[in-house]
Amino acid sequence: MSETDARSTTEEAGSRWLERLEPLLLVAVGGFAGAVLRHVVAVALPGGFPWGTLAVNVGGSFALGVLLYEAKLAGRLGAETRLVLGTGFLSSFTTYSTFALQTSALSPTLAVVNVGANYALGFAAVLAGRFAVRSLAGQEAAG
């Protein structure tokens, strides 16, 4: 094997390695940003009731609804963008484990309110995201 062939083979292997590493880096960057923002929201909202967790779960549900329906209806965002935002950012921004832990620490009445609020508002937020994307897609089609 010539030196040129060996260099080419090494460069191809390096390129394949970077291609496999890119999705992991995108998820890591998005995950870091989502976790940091979740912490900021949790610290910024008053205690007593888990308002911060409710806010990030509902906001994240809306954003995920927008992201997923945008992909389905408009498809302008690339796979990398959906990966960094959906899998990375939003999966770290929203939190089921904290929701479960905080709910178990509440009184039974507040626990029922918290569960109902997270699920009802979360589903409503996804539907609102879908509605927003459909409205924007409809405006673009008309314009």
Separation of alpha carbons 4 and 99, rounded Å:
57
Q: What percent of the chain has pLDDT over 70?
A: 90
Give the Cα separation of 119 and 111 in Å (integer). 12
Mean pLDDT throughout 10-33?
Answer: 88
* Residues written for the chain: 143
Domain boundaries, the chain: 3-142
Per-residue model confidence as pLDDT tens digits over 86-140: 999 999 999 999 999 999 999 999 999 999 999 999 999 999 999 999 998 877 7
Label residue 73 by pLDDT band (50, 70, 90).
confident
What is the distance between the alpha carbons of residues 71 and 113, in angstroms, rounded to a whole number?
33
